[in-house]
Amino acid sequence: MEKPRELNAKKEDFSKWYLQILEKAELVEDRYNVKGFNILRPWLMEITDKIYGIWEKELKNKGHKKVLFPTIIPEENFEVEKEHVEGFAPEVFWIDRAGNKKLERKLALRPTSETSFYSIYPFWIRSYLDLPLKLYQSCSVFRYETKATKPLIRTREFLWIEAHNAFATEKEALNQVKEDMEITKKVYHKLGIPFLFFKRPEWDKFKGSVFTFAADTILPDRKRLQLPSTHYLGQNFSKPFNIKFVDENEKENFVYQTCYGPPISRTVATIISLHSDDFGLILPFFLSPIQIIIIPILKKGKENEILKYCEEVKKILQDYRVEIDKRDKSAGSKFYEWELKGVPARIEIGERELEKKEICLFKRDKREKVFIKMEELIEKIKELEKEIEENLKERANKFFEKAISEADTKEELERKTNFGFVKIPFCSRDAEGERCAAELKDICEIAGTLYPEEEKPKNKKCVVCGKEAKVYVYACKSY
């Protein structure tokens, strides 16, 4: 089967290919008449719900409880923590009218929910017995994105999870940051998404935090995409929001806090981008809305026998999500459609399969067909389930390894930023480094220092200012 004419080659033009996949596989409708807002269609939402389920299971296993706060945040909440409001002010959507009536105070569509959660925490936290408090919500957030928008990757409304945690001690809070990173590793290992963890430089940390760690990946166009980030907030929010507790000695203390933000929309975008090919999506069994599609290839006079055989096969595979495509369409058009949607396994059943009591199995990841006896069917499907998952991980990891390089000069850095992450010697992570980062802004951005921390440079000079390099940082082009 030739490559669908509607799709550009992924390697030749990733951006066009990506938009075509979203359209042709019926994942996203981008013709909604508000810029930066898209409609997520049923097939994509089925995948999205499964990703939410994986992440929420991990959070609940670590003691988090699910809540849902209002979408609206009053303006005065933002004004409590100065640095935080300054960081988000340019991105906030404001509501100032209801019907024909002007509101007495402005209301914001949540860009993030620290100020929403923490305005209520003083009512819920009074004693050490109320701690730790580990809550999360699965929701959408709104940010007035001024850069070029791209569905799922950079939009003005996107899906995510945000966890907001409070602890009695700094040690517990720091352990939570590590736990967040472990959850990220576990989820992304299952999804086959490679990434690096970075400690963000001072000038790029989450506004209001003490420090930020973030997981970044590289998409096929070799640009960085930020994925989950976890932030140690210290007491930067508990003091202005007056979140205090009485300890065992009846002494009053401010809590220590963290927050964690897994981006669901960007995770879906990454799965589409890394795992799919010129023929459409490729999905692991556990994510695909339909895991096995059965295509009857009807022969005149034997229609009923072939359909009955298809039902028998479906019954054998009842532990999977299986459908029989009985629509009045050609077999070729059905092959094209389900391959485009990324269904992991396709079973073709016609006169030949009926007579030989076998099935023709199409493996989506390798695009190859094998013939299987009925008695081997369950065993072969189980093998394929594991095989596709491992193949996707291996392909993504090989690509990612090639997207990391090193440079010791600004000229070398400029040549290599089109290929992904570039490890460079750098002067510092503070104000001095910020000045050097600003000089690189037309070439790349600084993602941060790798975590766990690497050895410090020896006899190396900062690629920008030429001073002694104190750290290695990773530079890249970014979304």
Q: How far apart are CA 196 and CA 250, in angstroms?
A: 43
In CATH, what class is 14-275?
Answer: alpha beta
Does an H or E element contain 333, and which?
helix 331-340
> What per-residue confidence (pLDDT) applies to 406?
98
Domain assignments of the chain as residue spans, ordered by start: 14-275, 292-386, 405-476
Average pLDDT, the chain: 96
pLDDT at 146 over 70: yes
Instruction: Kindly calculate the radius of gyration of the chain based on its CA atoms and give it in whole angstroms.
Output: 26
pLDDT in tens, 8-47: 899 999 999 999 999 999 999 999 999 999 999 999 999 9
CATH topology of domain 292-386: Rossmann fold (3.40.50)
pLDDT at 313 over 90: yes
pLDDT in tens, 41-87: 999 999 999 999 999 999 999 999 999 999 999 999 988 987 887 88
Return the structure tokens found at 235.
């007491």
Mean pLDDT of 132-157: 94
> What per-residue confidence (pLDDT) applies to 4?
53
Mean pLDDT of 261-277: 98
Residue type, 193: I
pTM: 0.96
pLDDT at 2 over 60: no
Mean pLDDT of 354-363: 96
pLDDT at 3 over 80: no
- H helix runs in 62-167, sequence order: 75-78, 82-88, 114-124
Q: How far apart are CA 161 and CA 265, in angstroms?
A: 10
3-state secondary structure 203-219: HHCCCCCCEEEEEEEEC
> What per-residue confidence (pLDDT) applies to 420?
98
CATH topology of domain 405-476: Translation Initiation Factor IF3 (3.30.110)
